[in-house]
């Protein structure tokens, strides 16, 4: 953002809390104990790091029944995280989203295929339900919980900045961040107040799930063609600069 001449303001609307090592190990052992895994799907770089950090010290004790699953990364950053952990050859769908994963896997016969999703507690069930409807046997390993932060100062500062019209654009990078921001804001004012404040800014969503949640909350965001932070920022910057030459700040 700074390279594009913008000033970033980061709102901490999500706090990630890893689940206990013992509970993750127990769940992974249960899944691998029931037979080989055909597909292992990672939904974020954070889930990759947590997964391997937890499992690597115990690799000698884990059941060998995991087999040799094919690996899917939801996007380029997730694939890069896998490479850092020594995993090569992960597939990235054309569309960096749950829908993109469904589209990619739909090319294969999924009946009876065991698919394990590694993700956070904030993820919805759409991906799992879509794959199950195609005959797959889907398991989920929840690596971390996504919660409202204990400290909400940055959210309150953001709301004050909205009141003062300090922000030209707002980019939501997850559905959880949208939900949490509204939950915190509604402690002070009704939802309609936040919607009114945000009506004077450009609002972007990183992908379709985030956009859908925002629409449910009363905001209609733009979504980049590729679901990447870089693309989302560039789209918002272009829209703002088309309207005015000198943007103040991007949240």
Per-residue pLDDT of 46-55, as tens digits, reads 999 989 888 8
Residue 4 CB: number of other CB atoms within 10 A?
Answer: 13
Minimum mean pLDDT range among 29-38, 141-150, 183-192, 236-245: 236-245
Rounded alpha-carbon distances, angstroms, from residue 101 to 39, 83, 91, 156, 208: 11, 19, 10, 36, 13
Token readout for 240 is: 């703002």
Q: In whole angstroms, what is the distance from residue 221 CA to residue 227 CA?
A: 13
Does the structure show a pLDDT above 90 at 205? yes
Residue 63: its pLDDT value, please? 45
Residue 124: its pLDDT value, please? 75
Q: Where do the domains of the chain lie?
A: 16-146, 149-243
Closest to 119 in 3D by CA, of 180, 61, 78: 78
What is the chain's mean pLDDT, rounded?
90
DSSP 19-38: PPHHHHHHHHHHHHHTS--S
**pTM for this structure?**
0.81
Residue 61: its pLDDT value, please? 46
CATH topology of domain 149-243: Rossmann fold (3.40.50)
Residues whose CB is less than 8 angstroms from the CB of residue 76 and which lie 6 or more positions away in sequence, other chains included: 92, 96, 228
Per-residue pLDDT of 110-158, as tens digits, reads 999 999 999 988 777 889 999 999 999 999 999 988 899 999 999 999 9
CATH topology of domain 16-146: Rossmann fold (3.40.50)
Helix axes 45-55, 21-33, angle to 10 degrees: 90
With tokens 């997964």, the residue in question is: 51
Residue 54: its pLDDT value, please? 84
């Amino acid at each position: 953002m700074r390279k594009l001449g913008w000033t970033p303001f980061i709102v901490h609307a999500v706090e990630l809390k890893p689940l206990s090592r013992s509970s993750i190990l127990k769940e992974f052992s249960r899944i691998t104990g029931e037979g080989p895994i055909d597909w292992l799907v990672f939904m974020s770089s954070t889930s990759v790091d947590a997964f391997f950090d937890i499992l690597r010290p115990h690799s000698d004790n884990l059941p060998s029944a995991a087999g040799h699953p094919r690996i899917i990364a939801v996007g380029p950053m997730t694939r890069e995280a896998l490479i850092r952990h020594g995993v090569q050859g992960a597939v990235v769908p054309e569309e960096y989203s749950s829908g993109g994963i469904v589209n990619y896997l739909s090319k294969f016969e999924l009946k009876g295929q065991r698919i394990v999703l590694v993700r956070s507690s904030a993820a919805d069930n759409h991906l799992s339900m879509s794959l199950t409807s195609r005959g797959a046997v889907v398991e989920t390993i929840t690596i971390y919980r996504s919660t409202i932060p204990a400290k909400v100062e940055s959210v309150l500062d953001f709301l004050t900045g909205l009141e003062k019209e300090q922000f030209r654009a707002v980019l939501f990078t997850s559905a959880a961040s949208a939900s949490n921001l509204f939950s915190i804001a509604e402690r002070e004012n009704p939802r309609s107040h936040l919607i009114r404040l945000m009506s004077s800014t450009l609002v972007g969503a990183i992908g379709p799930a985030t956009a859908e949640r925002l629409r449910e909350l009363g905001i209609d965001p733009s979504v980049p063609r590729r679901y990447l932070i870089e693309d989302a920022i560039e789209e918002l910057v272009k829209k703002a600069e088309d309207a005015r030459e000198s943007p103040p700040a991007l949240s």
